[in-house]
């Protein structure tokens, strides 16, 4: 998968604390309440609140579980939470930035239908 290659080459950095706000953005865009996500995932409301407010990190098991509940690929969270290299001449960095923008537009389009 392309995101893994970006990580390996040091072009993309991800802070686990940034995944939570992305989860919240997607969850609210899809119209799913925090309570509903807690009920379906078995995660506590306090943990999910800390996660979505960027005060707790998340492991891959929970990330995959939340992705499945929301009906999106887990890689979507990684792409949207990634920090692109500052080198604007870097093709992969520009590609990832464009992918982030297109992904956000696609989610909004999907929800508006």
What is this structure's pTM? 0.69
At residue 2, the pLDDT reads: 44
At residue 48, the pLDDT reads: 97
Helices (H) and strands (E) in the chain, counts: 7, 2
Q: Two tokens at 40?
A: 């379906």
Per-residue pLDDT of the chain (113 residues; tens, 9 = 90+): 444 444 445 555 677 788 899 899 889 888 999 999 999 999 999 999 999 999 998 888 899 899 999 988 888 888 778 765 555 556 566 666 677 777 777 777 666 66
CATH code of 55's domain: 1.10.260.40
At residue 66, the pLDDT reads: 95
CA atoms of 53 and 8, how far apart (whole Å)? 28
Tell me which residue range forms the domain holding 13: 2-112
Number of domains in the chain: 1
């Amino acid at each position: 998968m392309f995101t893994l290659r970006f990580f390996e080459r040091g072009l993309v950095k991800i802070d686990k604390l940034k995944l939570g706000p992305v989860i919240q953005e997607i969850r609210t865009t899809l119209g799913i309440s925090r309570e509903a996500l807690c009920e379906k995932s078995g995660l506590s409301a306090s943990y999910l609140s800390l996660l979505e407010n960027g005060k707790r990190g998340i492991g891959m098991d929970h990330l995959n579980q939340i992705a499945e509940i929301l009906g999106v690929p887990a890689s979507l969270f990684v792409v949207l939470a990634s920090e692109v290299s500052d080198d604007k001449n870097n093709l992969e960095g520009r590609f990832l930035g464009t992918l982030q923008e297109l992904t956000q537009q696609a989610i909004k389009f999907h929800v508006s239908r």
